[in-house]
Chain A
Amino acid sequence: MALRLVHWRISPNSLSRRERADELAGLAQAAVAGDRGAVHALIAALAPHLLRTVRGVLGRHHPEVEDVAQEAALVLLKVLPSYRGDGRVSQFACRTAVLVALNARRSQLATKRGGHLEASAIDVDSLVGTGDSDPERTLAQARAAEAARDLMLSLPRLQAEALALHCVAGCTVSEIAAATDTPLETVRSRLRLARRALRQRLSVEPAWLEVLEAGDETR
């Protein structure tokens, strides 16, 4: 029960998450020191972040979401000793999940055909609607998210990582810089290059312009 409370208190996108002190830093330290209880509590607390981030990169209904999230948790435990306290533990976990999920998606693309945005690639009927949302808008945003995921696969790894942290995990430039231990200007540069690649795709892919057009119609 206590663990559940931790989940929701650090729930991503809650209004005050950016201002709070990192409540998980102590748990991370204890986990690195070999405290099994701390490892359990840390993974339980980070599970929502891992699940959400992996979903964001793979897509909501990807069959491997759970497996990849589990793999991300194991990788996180392995690399946790390298966490130096720059940035929040949850962002460090998100970065780990982004890398693992991108790798999984690239592997999938390498072994079978797919990964390109099609006008009908989104399973409209599987999208989750909310009471106050415009369905056309929800669909347009889902298509845009799929387009961004598609772009990530064609970008160099560092740019894809920056874009995924930005777009999927909702990290600001300074948060990406802290999570990746990279200078601010380098992160900005990676995001700029990712945007340039996106602009080029928009100029040659009619389906991508459709995405924007659908968004415009519902604005």
Chain B
Amino acid sequence: MRRADAVEDLLVLARDRELSEEDSARLGRAVESSLELKLLLDAGYGCDAQTRLLPGDEAKMQRLVERVMQQVDAGAAGGEPATPRVASVYRERIGLRRARPMLLAAAACLLPVGMAVAWQVVERSTGASPPDTPAASASAPTAPRTPSRTGRNGWARHEAGPTGSDAAPAPAPHAPEADNARVDPALTRPAAAGSASERAVATVPAKPRSSERKRAADPDVQPSGGQRATAAELFAGANLARREGHIERAVQLYEQLIQAYPESMEAADAHTVLGKLELDRAPASAVWQFRQSRARGSTAEALWGEAESLRRMASPEERAVLERIVREFPNSPYAPAARARLTKLAP
């Protein structure tokens, strides 16, 4: 049987070996006509690159074998190997049918206990008995939760209400688990004392949240109606304009974003994109954009962009930037390219 009948198979075989001309043409046509096939092909190559075995993996595999054999020996000696997730994976896939009667029996046993607990909760909420911990009820009257429930709810609220939290961050006291789940330090900037506009900027999350991304993807909900657009909205709007070929509009929005939210992560990305847009047209300006991006935290990518711009300007500074890539980011994908370029630059 010919294995390359389906396009799905060609996606895999192309990673494994060189395809015949006919298959290569077929795959090319399929990928050109389908965005998702294009992404899957790239994803396959990306997975291959990321899962490649590297020096040091030999030791990891050796450790793996030793630990597994310890578990096997412990099992053979009468002990139970510690495999916490094993049951959860394979109960679903292999032993579920066999385990079902036992699960039902267990559920039947737990049902009365659950009902009793629920009855107690109802009694307390109707005032039949005082709360156990007055201090806790005073600080958080509506949400005495178990740790696990608090974590899940905190996550759900975070995802559901980004706009609300932007407008009015609520400093209500709550459990530490909720703190961890709701306030990700990477997503917020420290509160800034100063003008109202500065404080407003300080409350803007540095990364776009999923709901904001969806909102920004829709051209109908772009900044309007008197509300100030978030950094994520501006960035998404600029990207959309760029993809649709409205480069001037895109540049305008990137610049607006940089001006309004100079410290945001989107601003750093905007500088990088602007640098790429200006690379061929105005390399000197591109150098400035990439340096601005680096100043905001972008690193190897911005350095590489800067080196590319300097190469177009035939500037001797290119060498120093390339050397910095090799020195500071030796494992990045830019390092081999930088080394290759340095070899060409060698006198």
Binding site for B on A (CB under 8 A): 4, 7, 11, 13, 15, 18, 36, 39-40, 43-44, 47-48, 50-53, 55-56, 59-60, 66, 69-71, 73-75, 77-79, 82, 99-100, 103-104, 107, 110-113, 116, 118-120, 124-135, 138-148, 157, 166-168, 170-174, 188, 191, 195, 198-199, 202, 204-213, 215
Q: How far is the CA of A69 from the CA of B53 in the complex (A)?
A: 14
Give 6 CB contacts A-B under 8 Å: A43-B68, A55-B51, A120-B269, A133-B336, A148-B39, A173-B8
Q: State the 7 A-B residue pairs at the shortest beta-carbon distance, nearest first.
A: A145-B46, A129-B333, A141-B46, A144-B42, A138-B333, A148-B43, A47-B61
Q: Which residues of B contact A11 (CB under 8 A)?
A: 53
- B239, A66: Cβ atoms closer than 8 Å: no
Q: How far is the CA of A113 from the CA of B162 in the complex (A)?
A: 14
**Which residue of chain A lies nearest to B89 when distances are taken between CB atoms in the complex?**
A103
Question: Which stretch of B11-19, B110-118, B314-322 is in the interface?
Answer: B11-19
Q: For chain B, residues 38 to 96, give those with C-beta under 8 angstroms from any C-beta of chain A.
A: 38-40, 42-54, 57-58, 60-61, 63-65, 67-69, 71-73, 76, 81, 83-86, 88-90, 92-94
Q: How far is the CA of A24 from the CA of B160 in the complex (A)?
A: 50
Inter-chain contact count A-B, CB under 8 Å? 262
Q: Select which of B39, B68, B159 is within 8 A of A77 by beta carbon.
A: B68
Q: How far is the CA of A78 from the CA of B240 in the complex (A)?
A: 50
- A112, B300: Cβ atoms closer than 8 Å: no
Q: How far is the CA of A115 from the CA of B71 in the complex (A)?
A: 32
Question: Told that A191-B8, A212-B42 touch, could you supply 14 new A-B pairs with CB distance under 8 A?
Answer: A51-B53, A77-B72, A79-B94, A118-B208, A128-B54, A128-B331, A135-B332, A145-B43, A166-B8, A167-B43, A167-B44, A198-B36, A202-B39, A206-B217
- A59, B50: Cβ atoms closer than 8 Å: yes
- Expressed in whole angstroms, the minimum distance between the Cβ of A213 and any Cβ of chain B is 6
- Expressed in whole angstroms, the minimum distance between the Cβ of B332 and any Cβ of chain A is 5
Q: How far is the CA of A135 from the CA of B339 in the complex (A)?
A: 12
Q: Which residues of A contact B213 (CB under 8 A)?
A: 205-207
Q: Select which of A66, A112, A208 is within 8 A of B64 by beta carbon.
A: A66
Q: How far is the CA of A168 from the CA of B51 in the complex (A)?
A: 9
- B44, A129: Cβ atoms closer than 8 Å: no
Q: How far is the CA of A121 from the CA of B283 in the complex (A)?
A: 28
- A202, B36: Cβ atoms closer than 8 Å: yes
- B83, A75: Cβ atoms closer than 8 Å: yes
Q: How far is the CA of A47 from the CA of B57 in the complex (A)?
A: 10
Q: Does B181 make an interface contact (CB < 8 A)?
A: yes
- B50, A125: Cβ atoms closer than 8 Å: no
Q: Which residues of B contact A198 (CB under 8 A)?
A: 36, 39-40
Q: How far is the CA of A198 from the CA of B39 in the complex (A)?
A: 9
- B89, A99: Cβ atoms closer than 8 Å: yes
* Known contacts A47-B64, A148-B39, A166-B12; A113 and B184 CB within 8 A of each other: yes
* Known contacts A124-B301, A167-B44, A207-B213; A51 and B50 CB within 8 A of each other: no
**Which residue of chain A lies nearest to B240 when distances are taken between CB atoms in the complex?**
A206
Q: How far is the CA of A13 from the CA of B49 in the complex (A)?
A: 11
- Expressed in whole angstroms, the minimum distance between the Cβ of B306 and any Cβ of chain A is 14
Q: Select which of A18, A53, A116, A124 is within 8 A of B51 by beta carbon.
A: A53
* Known contacts A124-B299, A195-B37; A71 and B13 CB within 8 A of each other: no
Q: How far is the CA of A104 from the CA of B288 in the complex (A)?
A: 44
- A44, B94: Cβ atoms closer than 8 Å: no
- A144, B39: Cβ atoms closer than 8 Å: yes
Q: How far is the CA of A180 from the CA of B331 in the complex (A)?
A: 37
- Expressed in whole angstroms, the minimum distance between the Cβ of B269 and any Cβ of chain A is 6
- B49, A138: Cβ atoms closer than 8 Å: yes
Q: How far is the CA of A107 from the CA of B52 in the complex (A)?
A: 25
Q: How far is the CA of A11 from the CA of B62 in the complex (A)?
A: 16
- A204, B214: Cβ atoms closer than 8 Å: yes
Q: For chain B, residues 267 to 326, give those with C-beta under 8 angstroms from any C-beta of chain A.
A: 269, 299-301, 304
**Which residue of chain A lies nearest to B329 when distances are taken between CB atoms in the complex?**
A125
* Known contacts A70-B68, A124-B300, A205-B213; A13 and B207 CB within 8 A of each other: no
Q: Select which of A13, A79, A208 is within 8 A of B39 by beta carbon.
A: A208
Q: Which residues of B contact A104 (CB under 8 A)?
A: 85
- B65, A13: Cβ atoms closer than 8 Å: no
- B53, A74: Cβ atoms closer than 8 Å: no
- B61, A48: Cβ atoms closer than 8 Å: yes
- A135, B334: Cβ atoms closer than 8 Å: yes
Most buried by A among B40, B159, B181: B40
Q: For chain B, residues 12 to 33, give those with C-beta under 8 angstroms from any C-beta of chain A.
A: 12-13, 15-17
